[in-house]
Structure 1
Amino acid sequence: MINLIAVIIAIASVLASLGHVGYLALLNNAAGKRAGGAPVAQYVRSRWALAGGATAASLFAWLLTSGNVVLDVLAIVIAVGSGATSVKALQSTQAKYRSGG
Structure 2
Amino acid sequence: MVLDVIAGVVALVGLLAAIAHGGYLALLGSAAKKRAGGGPVAEFVRSRMPMAGGLVGAGLLGLLFSTGGGFVDVLAIIVGAGTGLAATKQLTAVRERYRT
TM tier relative to shorter chain: over 0.9
Q: How many residues align?
A: 99
Counterpart for residue 75 of structure 2: 74
In the alignment, structure 1 segments of 5+ residues that lack a partner are none
How many percent identity over aligned positions?
44
CA distance in 2, matches of 1:67, 1:14: 17
Query: What per-residue deviation string (whole Å, max 9, x for no partner) do you get for residues 53-101 of structure 1?
Result: 01100010000111111000001101111111100000000000001xx
- Per the alignment, residue 62 of structure 1 pairs with 63
For residues 10-62 of structure 1, the C-alpha deviation after alignment (integer angstroms, 9 at most, x for no partner) is: 11001100000000000000000000000000000110111010110001000
CA distance in structure 2 between the partners assigned to 1:6 and 1:80 by the alignment: 9
For structure 2, the residue ranges without an aligned partner over 5 or more in a row are: none
Q: Which residue in 2 is equivalent to 1:90?
A: 91
CA-atom RMSD in angstroms: 0.5
Q: Structure 2: which amino acid aligns with 1:5?
A: I
Whole-Å Cα distance in 2 between the matches of residues 64 and 39 of structure 1? 38
Q: Which amino acid is 2:53 matched to?
A: G
Matches of 2:53 and 2:45 in 1, distance apart? 12
Q: After TM superposition, which residue ranges in structure 1, 4 or more long, deviate above 4 angstroms?
A: none
Aligned twin of 1:9: 10
TM-score by length of 2: 0.97
The residue that corresponds to 1:23 in the other structure is 24
SS of equivalent to 2:67: coil
